[in-house]
Amino acid sequence: MFPRPIEQTTRTSQVLYKLALPLALLLWLLPLLGVALTSFRPGSDIAQGNYFGMPSYFAYENYLDVFRNSPIGRYIFNSFKVTIPVVIGVVALSTMTGFALGIYKFRSNLLVFFLFVAGNFVPFQILMVPVRDLTYNMGLINTTTGLALFHIAFQTGFCTLFMRNFIRSMPFELIEAARVEGVSEIRIFWYIVIPLMRPAIAALSVLIFTFIWNDYFWATVLTTSASTQPVTAGLNSLNGQWIAAWHLVSAGSIIAALPPVLMFFAMQKHFIAGLTLGAVK
Amino acid sequence: MSAYWKSNQRRLAPWLFLAPGLAMFALYVVFPIFQSMALSFYDWDGLGEKVWVGTANYVELADDDAFYTSLKNNVIWLVLYLLAVPAGLFIAIFLNQTVRGIRIYKSLFFFPFVISQVVVGLMFSWFYAPGFGIFYQFTEWLFGDGVAMLANEDTVTYGIIVAGLWPQIAYVMILYLTGLNNVAADQIEAARLDGAKGWRMLWYVVLPQLRPATFIAVVVTVIGALRSFDLVSIMTNGGPYGSSRVLSFYMYEQALSEYGYRMGYGAAIAVVLFGIMMIFISGFIWKMWRDETER
C-alpha cells in the first residue's frame, strides 16, 4: 500500500492525520458550506450585511419562496423529462453498439470504435449550428424531446467505449458455447449478454443521469422558454432576476444540485465504477 | 430469407446491432462537423439565404482582437487546468488510508464533481463578490485593499479557472484513488525493503503503475479545459470587456446571442477550436489504437 498505512507510524502522526482530515475537508467544501448556510439565511440578514455569520434564524422559507415565486418546480420537472429518456435511450443504443464492437471481429471494427471515441471528444461548438438547425427543421426546437434526442446521440459515443470495454472483459467462452448449441446471435445478446451487463448498465445510468442533469450548454442552445428549460439553464435566468438576493440564489442552487447528489450517494459504488473504468489496467 | 439469415447471421448481426446507434451518432455528431466546416465559408444569419464568402470569415478572424484574447485564455486554461492532475494525485495519496470513516471523507472530497458547473459558478461568484465575498474580505484583511477577482481584466480568467479546478481536482482524485487501490502491494513492499520511500518511492515505483490513471486524467483534463464554457458564461458572461472569453464562449456569442446571429463567423471560430482539439484527440486516439492493436 502506498503511502505507508498511518497505523504503522508514530502516535503523533496518527493524531495529526486524524486532525488534518476534517480540517482539509472543511477547507475543501468551504464554498459549498457557505452557500448551504446562505440558503437558510433570512433576506433581512443579507440587507443588514450579515453574509457570513450565523443566520439570525433558520429561514427555511427561502426554499418555499423559491418554489412559490419562480418556475423552479417546472425547471426540475423539465430536467427529469430530458434526463430519464436519455438514460434509457443511451443504455439501449450503447449496449447494442458495445456488443457489436466487443464480440464480433470484422474489418472496420476498430475504425467504427474510434469514430465513437473521437466523436465523444469534439468541442460542442462545432456541432452547435447544424444541430440547432436540424432540431429546428424537425420542429423540435425549444422542446425537451429535441434536447433529449441530441443527448442520446452524443452520449452514445462515450457509452459505446464503456460498454465495449466491459463486454471485452466478459468470458468469451460463454458465447462460443451458445453458438455451438445453435443459439441465434439475437438470443445470445438478449439472454446471455444483457444479464451479465447489469453492473455496467447500472454504472452508466448513474453517470449519464448526472452528466445530462448538469448539462448547461445544450440546454441554452436548444431550449429557450421556462416551460421547456431544464434547471441548469433556468437557474441562470433566475440568477439574472434575483440580483443580490443571494439567499434565493443559494436555495435555488441547492435545489438544482440535489437530485444528482442524492443519486451519487445512493449509487456511489456504481458511479465510481463507471467513472474510473480504464483507470486501472 | 431465413436460410440466408441463418448462414450469414454472424456477418450481418454486428451491423444490425450497430445500425441505430451509428445512425444517431452520424446524424447528430459526424455530419454536423462537416456541415460546420462548410458553413464557415458562408455568411448566414440563421434564417435567410446563405451567402458564399469564401475565406472571408477566416481573414476577419485573423485580424480580430477578441479572437486572440480568447485564444490566449484557452492556452492559460489548458496550462493551469493541468494542475488538477498533480493536485488530484496529492489528495488521493492523502486520502489513501484505512482509518475509520475514510470512505465518507473520500465521497465528500469527490462532491464538487457531482454538482452542476452552473451551481459551482454561482458559488464562486458569491465567494469572489466585491464588498462582501469571503475572498474579497480575506484579501482586504491581508492587503488592506480587497481584490475584486472577477471585475479585473487581469485576474478574471484565473478566478474562473480556480472555480473550474475545484470539480476537476475531485475527478482526478477519484481516478487516482482507484489506481492506488490496484498498485501491486508486493512491489511496494520489495521497494520498501530496498530502502525506497517518500518521493523516490512515488516516482520510481508508484507512478509507473499509475500510468493508465494518469493517461485518463490528462485526457479528461485537456478536453475539459478546451471545452470550458459553462463557468465563463455563468460567472462573467465573457466580461469585463470580453477579457475572460474563451473560444467556445466567443463562438456562442457570435453565433447565438444578442450580439448577432453570425452563424458563418461562429462556425469559423468553431473550426479553429476543433482543429486545436483534434491535435490532442489524435494523440489520444493514436495511443489507444496502439494499445488496442498490441493486445
What's the pLDDT tens digit per position in A164-219? Answer: 989 988 888 888 899 888 888 889 999 999 999 998 899 899 999 999 999 999 99
Q: How far apart are CA B139 and CA B155, in angstroms?
A: 14
Q: Please give the model's pTM, rounded to 2 decimal places.
A: 0.92
Q: Does B104 touch chain A (CB under 8 A)?
A: no
Q: Please, which pLDDT band fits residue A130 given cuts at 50, 70 and 90?
A: very high
Cell of A39: 440558503
User: What residue ranges do the domains of chain B occupy?
Assistant: 38-294
Q: Does B286 touch chain A (CB under 8 A)?
A: no
B22:A214 CB<8 A: no
* Residues 144-173 of chain B whose Cβ lies under 8 A from any Cβ of chain A: 166, 171
A189 located within any domain: yes
A45 located within any domain: no
A44 located within any domain: no
Q: How many domains does chain A have?
A: 1
Rounded to the nearest angstrom, the minimum Cα separation between B56 and chain A is 18
Rounded to the nearest angstrom, the minimum Cα separation between A198 and chain B is 18
The CA-based diameter of chain A, rounded to the nearest angstrom, is 78
Q: What DSSP letter does each residue of A161-214 carry, written as one string?
A: HHHHHHHHTS-THHHHHHHHTT--HHHIIIIIIHHHTHHHHHHHHHHHHHHHHH
Short-list B43, B41, B67, CA closest to B55: B41
Q: Candidates 3.20.190.10, 1.10.3720.10, 1.20.1260.10, 1.10.10.10; correct CATH number of B38-294?
A: 1.10.3720.10
Cell of A104: 464480433
Q: Does B188 touch chain A (CB under 8 A)?
A: yes
Q: Does B33 touch chain A (CB under 8 A)?
A: yes
A281 located within any domain: no
User: Cβ contacts (< 8 Å) between B132 and chain A: which residues?
Assistant: 49, 51-52
A121:B274 CB<8 A: no
B28 phi/psi in degrees, rounded to 5: -100, -20
Task: Give the pLDDT of chain B (295 residues) as one tens digit per residue.
Answer: 678 877 788 888 899 999 999 999 999 999 999 999 999 999 998 888 889 998 999 999 999 999 999 999 999 999 999 999 999 999 999 999 988 888 889 999 998 999 999 999 999 988 888 877 888 888 888 888 888 889 888 999 999 999 999 999 999 999 999 899 888 888 888 888 888 878 888 888 899 999 989 999 999 999 999 999 999 999 999 888 889 999 999 999 999 877 778 999 999 999 999 999 999 999 999 998 898 888 6
Q: How far apart are CA A59 and CA A63, in angstroms?
A: 8
ipTM exceeds 0.90, yes or no: yes
Q: How many CB pairs below 8 A link A and B?
A: 291
* Residues 51-80 of chain B whose Cβ lies under 8 A from any Cβ of chain A: none
| Residues of the domain holding A165 | 67-275
Which of B6, B18, B188 best probes binding to A when mutated, by most A CB atoms within 10 angstroms? Answer: B18
A104 located within any domain: yes
What's the pLDDT tens digit per position in A82-99? Answer: 999 999 999 999 999 999
B248:A189 CB<8 A: no
B30:A119 CB<8 A: yes
Q: State the virtual CA torsion across A192, A193, A199, A200 in degrees, nearest 10.
A: 180
pLDDT for the residue B224: 94
For residue B26, the 8-state DSSP code is I
Q: How far apart are CA B96 and CA B180, in angstroms?
A: 8
Q: Does B261 touch chain A (CB under 8 A)?
A: no
Residue A85: is the preceding peptide bond cis (ω within 30°)? no
Rounded to the nearest angstrom, the minimum Cα separation between B80 and chain A is 19
Rounded to 10 deg, the angle between the A109-119 and B263-294 helix axes is 130
pLDDT over 70 percentage in chain B: 99
CATH number of the domain bearing residue A210: 1.10.3720.10
- The partner residue sitting opposite B122, judged by closest CB among A184, A253, A261, is A253
A24 located within any domain: no
